[in-house]
Structure 1
Amino acid sequence: MYRFLLTPRWLGYLALTLVAATVMVFLGNWQLDRYRGRTAVNERIDAGATMTPAPLRDALPAPTGGAGTVGPAPTEQLTWSRVTATGRYDSANVVLVRGRTLDNKVGFEVLTPLVLADGSAVLVDRGWIPPVPGAGATTQPRVPAAPGGEVTVTGRVVGSESGGGGVARRDGTLEARRIDIAKLAKQLPYPVTGGYVLLDGQTPAPDPAFQAVQIGHTNNWQNFGYVWQWWIFAVMSLVGYGWVARREARRLAGLDGPDEPRDRAAEPASPTSA
């Protein structure tokens, strides 16, 4: 009854079905890996909110090169951990990162190098400020002055961003589209650590003009939904092949009903006309 499945055409159908199902299973596994990775990021973000700040060098090793060089990037496990550092802000090398969104408003994040006792610096994201009212989105805002003297900061360790073009100095202020530490370091007169600190506390207190940059959780449940979507599609493709094969077998067997052939001999004879 199912001997037709061994014909070249149906063997081709079977091969295509198995390939499609295999690809869908792999796509589901890939989304599962993304789900696990994003879940781990969210767990680190949550853990960092309550952890006691550790010394900066526990998460960001000191750079070993000269001016303009960058130290090792933070490890995945230490990204979003909470650290503390003490130094002096270098107000001559403030960095404005444009095109940053907070509460659906586009403004600037302000990074200021914190020069440490060993002569290296760590970039500190002091917060978000809105653009100048009535001016264009690229017009430089008034940046509150960084406190002078010794400053102690606490915040989250964040890795360098990539892309977004170069770094330019306009009216004495560095501007960038992304926080690419390697590019920013080339504009600075000291070695720079390989990650930056997203400020959540400072002594003396930060200027109230700054708004805290929000840390968003990754949408890991979307990936979890994709896992099941791809796996269900894989099962459906195999079930679909079986359904089509059964339908073809019934057609070749001349089955009219759902399970058995109709018995023509058992049908009542048509009445003859008088």
Structure 2
Amino acid sequence: MYRFLLTPRWVALHIVVLLVIPAFVFLGQWQFGRFEERSADSDLVTRNIESAPVPLETLVRPGGTAEESDRFRSVTVTGTYDPAQELVVRRRPQNGRPGYFVITPLVTGGGHAVLVNRGWVPAGASADEHPAVPPPPTGEVTVTGRLRPSETEANSGIRERSGLPPRQVLLINPASIGRSLTYPLLDGYVELTGQQPPSAAAPEPVPAPDVGSGGGLNLAYGVQWWLFIGIAVGGWVLLIKREVADRKAQESVAEPEEARTD
């Protein structure tokens, strides 16, 4: 009755099922791994955003590095803006509009400076035209913001290129920007969320990161792939049972016909 399972057509079906099962297991495990990574990253960012502000120098020292584990950590830093060295960062859309980030060095009392992303401004009439930027406040200010690691081609997906208009860059990279400055820059930069005293006019604030569901979609996809395993095996068993039932029905029809012939 089950010899049909060894026919070429059925052997091919068995091979397909045997290949599909480990493939779906692998895809499910990969999605579960992505769920764990994204959930851990979401938890880290949420904790850093909600933490009480700490002085920037406790996280990033001169010559040191802004760590990924401190990404979006709330920090404070006091100093004086240097508007003569202000830059804008190209290709930074916000709320569906093209525009620029405004990066201004904040010189601290320690003789070094940190880049501050003061916010977003809309693009001008052309890509080569420098946008209209509200000036930073004069005198000493205390900035509160989110610490961000330095941008690179690898972690941002943005490729640096030469030939840009004056005072425009593509990446917020203190190592590169600092070559033209007379004072050293701390690694990373601060994404401004508050300032004392406040400015009369300022660029549009950069929104806080959207931590989303923390990889919940990956978890759903992982469960989905593993459900497909049950569907594949169940479909394979169902086809076998249907074939057996069809063959039994054909045999039961054939027996009365043979009896009548006799």
TM-score by length of 1: 0.76
Residue in structure 1 matched with residue 146 of structure 2 by the alignment: 156
Question: Aligned pair 1:140/2:135, yes or no?
Answer: no
Q: CA deviation at 1:229?
A: 2.6
In structure 1, C-alpha distance between the alignment counterparts of 2:253 and 2:105, rounded to whole Å? 91
**Alpha carbons of 1:60 and 1:19: their partners in 2 closer, same or farther (altered >3 Å)?**
farther
TM-fit CA distance, 1:154: 0.8
- Structure 1 unmatched runs, 5+: 64-70
Secondary structure of the corresponding residue to residue 214 of structure 1: coil
1:205 lines up with 2:198 in the alignment: yes
For the 8 Å contact 1:59–1:157, the answer to whether it is kept is no
Q: How far apart are 1:11 and its partner, in Å? A: 5.7
Change over 3 Å in CA distance of 1:32–1:117 after alignment to 2:
farther
Question: Are residues 1:73 and 2:66 paired?
Answer: yes
**1:14 to 1:138, Cα distance in 2 relative to 1, 3 A:** farther
**Judging changes above 3 Å, is the alpha-carbon distance between structure 1 residues 28 and 180 closer, same or farther for their aligned structure 2 residues?**
farther
Match of 1:223 in 2: 218
Given that 1:98 and 1:138 are in contact with CA atoms closer than 8 Å, whether structure 2 keeps it comes out as no
For each residue in 1:137-175, what CA deviation from the matched residue of structure 2 results, as whole angstroms up to 9, or x when unmatched?
44211222222332211111122333332366644x2x1
Q: TM-score, normalised by structure 2?
A: 0.79
Contact 1:74–1:157 (8 Å) recurs in 2: no
d(CA) in 1 for partners of 2:228, 2:97: 40
What is the deviation of 1:110?
Answer: 0.4
Give structure 2 stretches of 5+ with no counterpart.
Answer: none
**C-alpha spacing 1:53/1:229, structure 2 compared with 1 (3 Å):** same
Q: Which residue of 2 aligns with 1:68?
A: none
**Match of 1:51?**
51
1:7-156 to structure 2, matched below 5 A, reads: 13-63=13-63, 71-76=64-69, 78-132=70-124, 135-156=125-146
Structure 1 residues 127 and 226 mapped into 2: Cα distance closer, same or farther (>3 Å)? Answer: same
RMSD (Å), alpha carbons? 3.1
In structure 2, the CA distance between the partners of 1:238 and 1:59, relative to structure 1 (3 Å rule), is: farther
Q: Given the superposition, is the C-alpha separation of residues 262 and 91 from structure 1 closer, same or farther in structure 2, using an over 3 Å criterion? A: same
- What residue identity is the alignment partner of 2:131? P
CA contact under 8 A between 1:125 and 1:196: conserved in structure 2? yes
